[in-house]
Amino acid sequence: MEDQDIINEFLIESAENLSRLEQEIVELEQRPSDPQLLAGIFRTIHTIKGTCGFLSFSNLEGVTHIAENLLSQLRNGERTLNPALISLILETVDIVKKELAHIESSGKESGEPYEDLRKRLTLACEGKQTEQSQAPDPQKSITGKPESEEAAASQTSTGSSQEVERSTVGKQSSVADSTIRVDVGLLDKLMNLVGELVLARNQILQFNSRQEDANLNSTAQRLNLITTQLQEGVMKTRLQPIGVVWNKLPRVVRDLAASCDKQIQLVMDGADTELDKSIIEAIKDPLTHIVRNCCDHGIETPAIRTRNGKSPQGTLALRAYHEGGQVNIEISDDGAGVDPVRVKQKAIEKGLLRPEQAERLSDRETVNLLFLPGFSTAEQVTSISGRGVGMDVVKTNVEKIGGAVDLSSRVGEGTTVKIKIPLTLAIIPGLVVNSGGERFVIPQVSLLELLRLEEDTAKNQIERIHGTPVYRRRGRLLPLVYMNEALGLATRSANEAQQVVNVVVLQAEDRQFGLVVDSVLDTQEIVVKPLGKQLKKVECFAGATIMGDGGVALILDVARVGRKAIAVQEREEAHSESEQERRSAKAVQTYLLFRAAGLRRAAIPLAEASRLEEVPQSSIEFAAGRPVIQYRGDILPLISLSQVLGKGHNDTAFQSDPVHVVVLRTGERSVGLAVDEIIDIATDVVERADESSQRGVLLSTRIGGKVTDLLDLQALFAACGAQVFPDVAQSLDALRAGISQQWEPMATVEVVQ
Amino acid sequence: MSTQEVSQSGARRYATFSVSDMFCGIDVGQVQEVLRYQDMTPVPLAPDVIRGLINLRGQIVTAVDLRRRLRLPERNEQQKPMNMVLRCEGGAISLLVDEIGDVIDVDGCQHELAPSTMDPFHRDMVETVFKLEGKLLLALDTAKVLRIDTTP
């Protein structure tokens, strides 16, 4: 199969070369001593000869070899050109064409030896003109140089017209004819026109939806269909397989491996995944950079690999695939991985992160710190990488084309960099929202989900941490940005604003945030148009587009809006009265208080509890000796505190009927914590705490004015064998960090919420 | 194409219009077209001289309110501005003006620089004053008028 591909490539390339060759040979008649022309012709024949040899078309190779000898002599000035020689060369070209056509139709050579031509070519090489030689115009005297420009010209025209005739015969659907080369500029223009057409189509469709005319309706439908197909077609013309970029990577990897004394095997999967040409251009450098990084930092030397029980040869895998209108490119190695601890250290050393911030980051967030400008964990700066420029440039470049980069890593097992990029730049899917009476488009790439909060939920779930609105999204705090405020738009009247809150959850750069809009309208294919230079200082907008009704809508630059909003929030924080107070604000948390297993007052962060249930004792069943209940179609394992706390803590939870169960979620799994009684929910600042020696209890502290034991959820989950997912662990870490921060330096400061 | 080049090339014709009490002109070579009032999409956070974006046959054109640019009093609400679309590098720009006048041939007309008693801000915007019969035509320096990103 691959051989056939190579042969096809060869046929296309040769057909192009040959048509140029004929032109060149004809020109050569007029300028017989032009060394460049001769060199060009020689090269072409030489290439064909070489490829024939490679593909074992020995006959064709033989003929072209002799022709090459002749041309070589001509080039070196050992022989002067005359019309007889030229026609001999042209004849050779014809034979080559004939053979190529035969190869194309049957896959092999015709087997004809062309003895006559070979003989004449050989004789010509030896300096003897043969009687059989056929000049295109025998009446003309044969001399070294054409007698006059005119004569040469007339000869040229007859010669070339013959060639045209010959070449058009019997070549209907050859491989070479089924492809053409097109100027990229023309494709760009076509793409723009299609963009305009899409806009016009959108307008027609909108207009049509208000009309009754059946004729217009069907025409509009047809227009819609054709436009969509045309758009796809034109987009396809610009697509190139990603292999175009990947092709040079084996060499890069080989050289790098050699220079670092490593053994690296490169595996490529999905090289035929197609992408817009402009995007291919844009990802070329980032991709190479990541690959270099993987080779240099990721994969270890054979000695270390063997010591760690891996095969001495490291594997670097490239994978590309389409997913939901986007292209994903994954670059993964099976090397050392990125050590989050070291990354944190480094980030703190470089002043990119405060220690207390570092504590709160999950491993995943931590490794993505590598994309911060000025970051490099390489102990040594090598010639290849480690200068601290690079990964941030990769990120900026990818984001510039509307893509996203994510890095995940497991220490000792390897690193995967995942790049997500749109198929094309000119026409993108977008979400149309309304805010302050104006429409805005949010590129779908940055969109994570849409939340619609009804009046009651909105009131309860949108809270303010020191003036910054946040929403509890599955246990984690999502900062909210009100679009009306961020863009200085007219806000809705107070009673309107209270009804429903629409939150568009967006991912920009390394942060997620919720954008609160007045309403969500529609998703649409939009054509991105640039804004005038007068507006370049206005950040927040990536461009504008024309909507179905002919109006203009601005396209939001999600990254900038996020950055701006966060910057404002940080400024506001800085304005707050004191640094201590700001810190304490972060430690404010809501706790669920309950009595269980002899603890009079135990607490867990409310965010960790997904539901409170009362279960009749009779519904408790046992699976593998452990109590479970059937809960929402799943089996929910129950744990009691006594299991965790150990001896001296009697299990009283299962004695009451109904049993009170706090459902805790850890990642995808849930567990039920059986308690004696739910006491209360309290919001408080945990200000003084004593680390508890009791297993299962994190801290003993004061919540709601009374001494309370804050439970160690990790220990709880461990007790029931559930895996602790990073986000739970992280919020616990955050809690610890928040407490220790304020309790060390200012133990006596009374904290006001 | 700069205004100077055209003025040196002989025939000088100006597309005229009025804003507030000023009668102004812009070299016709720079004017792409004139349109009546168009709906605009306001651009949040943009300087207030930028009134919005106009859909001009699929092109997105920035509309600059000349009254605001020249620090003249606001139009009353009923008065809809006209668009004078100028060709500029990097796309077209529309100037919102009150009324559109004729194209006037100023060849042979006497002209001089704006009087030194005029306030410096406006004098800077006016390239030349043509003394027409009965009135004065202020030829605007479009490069300066459209240099917006430096003004807040």
**What is the structure's pLDDT at B146?**
85
CB contact under 8 A, B45 and A531: no
Residues 6+ apart with CB under 8 A from A489: A435, A436, A437, A438, A483, B44
Chain B CB contacts of A551 under 8 Å are 39, 41, 55
Per-position b or e across A9-39, b if 16+ CB within 10 A of its CB: ebbbebbebbeebbebbbebbeebeeeebbe
Give the mean model confidence (pLDDT) for residues A202-224. Answer: 87
Best mutation target among A534, A541, A557 (most B Cβ atoms within 10 Å) is: A534
For chain A, helix, strand, coil in percent to 5 are: 45, 25, 30
**What is the structure's pLDDT at A733?**
54
Lookup: tokens for A198: 């899409």
Chain A CB contacts of B52 under 8 Å are 552
State the angle between helix axes of A58-75 and A83-106 in degrees (0 to 180), rounded to the nearest 10. Answer: 150
List the single residue in A with minimal CA-CA distance to B92: A532
CB contact under 8 A, B41 and A544: yes
| pLDDT tens digit sequence for A422-477 | 766 667 788 999 988 889 999 887 888 898 888 777 777 778 777 778 888 777 78
Sheet holding A501-508, edge to edge: A447-453, A501-508, A511-517, A476-482, A468-473, A462-465
**What is the structure's pLDDT at A738?**
45
**Which CA distances in Å does A535 have to A11, A254, A288, A334, A614?**
52, 47, 35, 47, 59
Report the C-alpha gap between A109 and A7 in whole angstroms: 12
**What is the structure's pLDDT at A641?**
73
Is the model's pLDDT at B109 over the cut of 90? Answer: no
CB contact under 8 A, A534 and B45: no
Is the model's pLDDT at A148 over the cut of 60? Answer: no
Report the C-alpha gap between A190 and B91 in whole angstroms: 19
Which of these, B145, B53, B80, B130, lies nearest to A529 by C-alpha position?
A: B53
Which of these, A446, A465, A430, lies nearest to A563 by C-alpha position?
A: A446
Report the percent of chain A where pLDDT is more than 70: 77
pLDDT band at A208, cuts 50/70/90?
confident
Which among B42, B50, B60 has CB closest to A534? B50
Lookup: tokens for A525: 């294919």
CB contact under 8 A, A487 and B45: yes
DSSP states along A444-484: GGGEEEEEEE-HHHHHHHEEEETTEEEEEETTEEEEEEEHH
Chain B CB contacts of A487 under 8 Å are 44-45
Q: Distance from A86 to chain B by nearest Cα, in Å?
A: 54
Q: Distance from B94 to chain A by nearest Cα, in Å?
A: 11
Which among A438, A539, A552 has CB closest to B55? A552
**What is the structure's pLDDT at A554?**
92
CB contact under 8 A, A535 and B61: no
CB contact under 8 A, A532 and B54: no
Kind and range of the H or E run holding A348: helix A340-349
Q: Distance from A403 to chain B by nearest Cα, in Å?
A: 25
Lookup: tokens for A596: 């269980």
| pLDDT tens digit sequence for A500-522 | 888 899 887 667 889 988 889 88
Per-position b or e across B10-23, b if 16+ CB within 10 A of its CB: eebbbbbbebeebb
**What is the structure's pLDDT at A719?**
64
Longest dimension (CA), chain A: 122
Chain B CB contacts of A439 under 8 Å are 41
Q: What is the rounded average pLDDT for all residues in chain A?
A: 74
DSSP states along B73-110: PPPPTT-PPEEEEEEETTEEEEEEESEEEEEEE-TT--
Q: Distance from A425 to chain B by nearest Cα, in Å?
A: 18
| pLDDT tens digit sequence for A532-551 | 777 877 778 888 888 877 78
Chain B CB contacts of A533 under 8 Å are 90-91, 149
Report the C-alpha gap between B140 and A253 in whole angstroms: 61
Tracing tokens 């030689």 back to the chain, one arrives at: A133
Tracing tokens 């070579």 back to the chain, one arrives at: B29
DSSP states along A4-72: HHHHHHHHHHHHHHHHHHHHHHHHHHHSTT-HHHHHHHHHHHHHHHHHHHHTT-HHHHHHHHHHHHHHH
Q: B95 CB near a chain A CB, below 8 Å?
A: no
Report the C-alpha gap between B50 and A533 in whole angstroms: 12
Residues A268/A244, Cβ–Cβ less than 8 Å: no
pTM of the model: 0.49
Q: B48 CB near a chain A CB, below 8 Å?
A: no
Is the model's pLDDT at A721 over the cut of 70? Answer: no
Query: What does DSSP say about strands A677-685 and A588-596: parallel, antiparallel, or unpaired?
Result: antiparallel
Q: Distance from A550 to chain B by nearest Cα, in Å?
A: 7
Burial of A698 (0-12, 13-18, 19+ CB in 10 A): buried
**What is the structure's pLDDT at A59?**
82
Q: B152 CB near a chain A CB, below 8 Å?
A: no
Sheet holding A438-443, edge to edge: A519-527, A427-435, A438-443, A552-556, A541-546
Report the C-alpha gap between A562 and A708 in whole angstroms: 39
Q: What is the rounded average pLDDT for all residues in chain B?
A: 83
pLDDT band at A646, cuts 50/70/90?
low
Is the model's pLDDT at A596 over the cut of 60? Answer: yes
| pLDDT tens digit sequence for A162-196 | 444 444 444 445 566 677 888 888 888 888 888 88
Chain B CB contacts of A438 under 8 Å are 41-42, 44
Residues A481/A595, Cβ–Cβ less than 8 Å: no
List the single residue in B with minimal CA-CA distance to A537: B149
Q: B103 CB near a chain A CB, below 8 Å?
A: no
CB contact under 8 A, B43 and A541: yes
State the angle between helix axes of A83-106 and A2-30 in degrees (0 to 180), rounded to the nearest 10. Answer: 160
Q: Say whether A434 sits in a helix, a strand or coil.
A: strand
CA–chain centroid gap for A583, Å, is 37
Which among A196, A532, A537 has CB closest to B62? A532
Q: B53 CB near a chain A CB, below 8 Å?
A: yes
Which of these, A391, A395, A390, lies nearest to A419 by C-alpha position?
A: A395
Kind and range of the H or E run holding A246: helix A243-246
Among chain A, residues having any CB pair with chain B shorter than 8 Å are 196, 199-200, 436, 438-439, 487-489, 529-541, 544, 546, 550-554
List the single residue in A with minimal CA-CA distance to B148: A534
Which of these, A712, A703, A716, A701, lies nearest to A671 by C-alpha position?
A: A716
List the single residue in B with minimal CA-CA distance to A199: B58
DSSP states along A284-298: HHHHHHHHHHIIIII
Helices (H) and strands (E) in chain B, counts: 4, 11
List the single residue in B with minimal CA-CA distance to A438: B41
Report the C-alpha gap between A551 and A89 in whole angstroms: 65
| pLDDT tens digit sequence for A271-304 | 888 888 888 888 888 888 888 888 887 888 888 8
Best mutation target among B32, B35, B40, B41 (most A Cβ atoms within 10 Å) is: B41
Q: Distance from A717 to chain B by nearest Cα, in Å?
A: 50
Domains (range + CATH), chain B: 3-145 (2.40.50.180)
| pLDDT tens digit sequence for A36-52 | 788 888 888 888 888 88
Give the mean model confidence (pLDDT) for residues A740-745. Answer: 38
Residues A301/A252, Cβ–Cβ less than 8 Å: no
Which among B46, B58, B60 has CB closest to A538? B46
The residue that leads in pLDDT, A282 or A378, is: A282
**What is the structure's pLDDT at A752?**
37
**What is the structure's pLDDT at A570?**
57
Tracing tokens 């001296």 back to the chain, one arrives at: A648
pLDDT band at A743, cuts 50/70/90?
very low
Q: Distance from B34 to chain A by nearest Cα, in Å?
A: 19
pLDDT band at A666, cuts 50/70/90?
low
Q: B58 CB near a chain A CB, below 8 Å?
A: yes
The residue that leads in pLDDT, A389 or B126, is: B126
Dihedral pair phi/psi, residue A27, rounded to 5°: -65, -35
Chain A CB contacts of B150 under 8 Å are none
| Most confident of the following: A673-677, B2-6, B81-85 | B81-85
Report the C-alpha gap between A289 and A370 in whole angstroms: 13
Is the model's pLDDT at B82 over the cut of 90? Answer: yes
Is the model's pLDDT at B16 over the cut of 90? Answer: yes
Lookup: tokens for A569: 């929030």
pLDDT band at A86, cuts 50/70/90?
confident
Give the mean model confidence (pLDDT) for residues A600-625. Answer: 78
Give the mean model confidence (pLDDT) for residues B12-32. Answer: 90
pLDDT band at A493, cuts 50/70/90?
low
CB contact under 8 A, A537 and B149: yes
| Most confident of the following: A72-76, A577-581, A742-746, B14-18 | B14-18
**What is the structure's pLDDT at A151?**
41
Longest dimension (CA), chain B: 46
Which of these, A528, A558, A526, lies nearest to A543 by C-alpha position?
A: A528
pLDDT band at A747, cuts 50/70/90?
very low
**What is the structure's pLDDT at A2?**
58
State the angle between helix axes of A149-168 and A83-106 in degrees (0 to 180), rounded to the nearest 10. Answer: 10
**What is the structure's pLDDT at A583?**
44
CB contact under 8 A, B146 and A534: yes
Chain A CB contacts of B93 under 8 Å are 532, 534
**What is the structure's pLDDT at A744?**
36
Interface contacts (A, B; CB < 8 Å): 71
Report the C-alpha gap between A383 and A369 in whole angstroms: 22
Q: B44 CB near a chain A CB, below 8 Å?
A: yes
Beta bridge partners of A240: A275
**What is the structure's pLDDT at A16?**
78
| pLDDT tens digit sequence for A297-346 | 788 888 888 888 888 888 889 999 877 667 889 998 888 888 888 888 87
Helices (H) and strands (E) in chain A, counts: 25, 30
The residue that leads in pLDDT, A735 or A111, is: A111
Give the mean model confidence (pLDDT) for residues A684-706. Answer: 66
| pLDDT tens digit sequence for A126-146 | 776 544 444 444 444 334 444
Report the C-alpha gap between A347 and A328 in whole angstroms: 29
List the single residue in A with minimal CA-CA distance to B44: A487
**What is the structure's pLDDT at B48?**
86
Lookup: tokens for B15: 């597309």
Best mutation target among A535, A536, A564 (most B Cβ atoms within 10 Å) is: A535
pLDDT band at A207, cuts 50/70/90?
confident
Give the mean model confidence (pLDDT) for residues A19-26. Answer: 78
N- to C-terminal Cα separation, chain B: 27
Which of these, A411, A399, A700, A442, lies nearest to A553 by C-alpha position?
A: A442
Domains (range + CATH), chain A: 2-178 (1.20.120.160), 184-238 (1.10.287.560), 241-422 (3.30.565.10), 427-575 (2.40.50.180), 583-743 (2.40.50.180)
The residue that leads in pLDDT, A737 or A580, is: A737
Dihedral angle at the C-alpha atoms of A523, A528, A532, A538, nearest 10 degrees?
A: 50
Residues A85/A70, Cβ–Cβ less than 8 Å: yes
Chain B CB contacts of A532 under 8 Å are 60-62, 90-91, 93
CB contact under 8 A, A531 and B50: no
Across A273-287, A684-698, B52-66, B70-84, least confident range: A684-698
Lookup: tokens for A466: 């020191």
Is the model's pLDDT at A718 over the cut of 50? Answer: yes
CB contact under 8 A, A552 and B149: no
CB contact under 8 A, B148 and A534: yes
What DSSP character marks residue A704?
T
Lookup: tokens for A547: 């909507």
Tracing tokens 């999600």 back to the chain, one arrives at: A558
